Copies of this chain bind each other. A is one copy, B any other.
Amino acid sequence: MVKALIIAAGRGNRLRPYTDERPKSLVPLLGLRLIERVILSAKEAGIREFVVVTGYRGEEVRAFLGDGGRYGVAIEYVENRLWRRGNGTSVYEARGLLNGRFILLMSDHIFNPEILSELKRCEPGERECILCVDTCMEDVVDLDEATKVRVVGDRIVDIGKDLRDFNGVDTGIFLCTPYLFEVLERNIQAGRCSLTESMRDLAGEGGLRALPIDDGDYWLDVDTPESLRAAEKLLLFKASKHALATRALYRYLNTPLTRLFALTPITPNQVTLLSLLAAVASSLLFIYHHPLPAGLLALLSSVLDGVDGKLARIKHMKTTYGGIFDSFVDLYEDLAVFFGMAYYGYVETLDPLLWFLAFLALTGTIAVSVPAGISTPTRRYWVSLSKLYRCFPFKSRRGEVDRWVVECSPASKDMRYLWIFVGSTLGQVVATLWAVAVVTNLMAVYRLLRAKLTTEHLSMAEIEEYLEKIYAK
């Protein structure tokens, strides 16, 4: 089991006024302290043992994090009294607790756990360190202050803040071997106490390997109030699953709500419950013939439905149960809203066929992604129709049209509730019910037929290959 060393000793002058009252690693960001984010991100990448080096106001860090039990990890502490001399001394002080290879992290960097998952799989040589390098550099907030690197092949040949000729940036995420302590010792004795100075020595020996991070991976060094705000934006944006045009409205609506909830102790599952309450309230308002607020609450319900998952990702509170609970509640929300809409229309017309329409709408929304079991020679799969009908996506323009039809249709919950909101605002509750019922069922039949056409020419091996693309990571 590889340990992670987190250095959290520095003063954080540049992050004032946030660091006036507390050490930098305890600065809050969307409801979690910076160092909590580092620990929870590393935990997501499978790391369970931590060594935290404290310095400035170290007792506060220690009191806050405790033994790590409430995060489900184990934390050991090392105090570095010489922290003012440079961050190399903080790494060096931890040498007694680290015998094998270890991850080295900065307490003030936020990062995508995927970066660490990949780094963990690397095998450094005995006298080697591996540094995750951002070679894209587009999103680096404060390039002037960043530590740059020059990479040739897979080697970092030079590293430093003032490098002129560079092609990457140091993300502060390392995989090290105890050999690093030898290099640090040499340098500290010579008065060169920053980590970068020792890394430059390693680079000179050919012992610093670069691991470029993927384009989609994010990281950020929280060094100034500006970068703290940038970090907030980054997390809120990266926590959105979709980045499609039609979802822009929803992102616009649920981002401020997510930000708000993140600052409170409200859990994602409680947000899911709020979403259900909004749907039930919407249903009652339809029943009592107030279509306008009813439509608004239906919209709110679907906005909240996007907040729960986002909040869970941002606050590292994702659970298996949360995902199930969300799918479960979705069903009952549809039940409530469709019943309310049908009742609204029924009171006006007394036509029982309206109930059939509502039944059809409910069934159609389920049918568009009805699950089915598929058994291949090596595995069993459970796949939804919404995944399966795309076995062979259309190419070119037809594919684009197809994508837009799916994007804007009431097959997805957020679009469905947007239709309901707009329809109710226009006073067209029954027409909206008609539209949802007809469109979802037509789409369901279309998907079914396409699943037939695409799968009937495929061998089981080809179907398995397609499914593995979806299900294997």
Contacts and interface: CB of A to CB of B under 8 A. Distances in A.
Contacts of A455: 319-321, 324
Q: What size tier do the contact residues of chain A reach?
A: 35 or more
A70 interface: no
Interface of A: 46, 117, 319-321, 323-328, 331-332, 334-335, 338-339, 342-343, 346, 352, 355-356, 358-360, 362-363, 366-367, 370-374, 377-385, 388, 444, 448, 451-452, 455-456, 458, 460, 463, 470-473
Contacts of A355: 339, 342, 355, 358
A268 to B, nearest CB: 13
A188 to B, nearest CB: 38
Contacts of A383: 382
Nearest to A445: B328
Contacts of A338: 359
Contacts of A370: 324, 327-328, 331
A332 B363 contact: yes
A384 B355 CA distance: 28
A210 to B, nearest CB: 24
Contact of A378 (B326, B456, B472): B472
A177 B190 CA distance: 74
B452 A321 contact: yes
A473 B473 CA distance: 19
B320 A335 contact: no
Contact of A382 (B339, B382, B458): B382
B451 A363 contact: no
A457 to B, nearest CB: 11
Contacts of A326: 372
A75 to B, nearest CB: 18
Nearest to A371: B371
Contact of A117 (B377, B385, B456, B470): B377
A363 B331 contact: yes
Contacts of A362: 335, 359, 362-363
Contacts of A319: 455-456
A452 B325 CA distance: 9
A78 to B, nearest CB: 28
Nearest to A287: B352
Contacts of A352: 343, 346
B46 A371 contact: no
Contact of A321 (B335, B358, B451): B451
Given A319-B455, A366-B331, A324 B388 contact: yes
Given A339-B356, A339-B359, A455-B320, A367 B473 contact: no
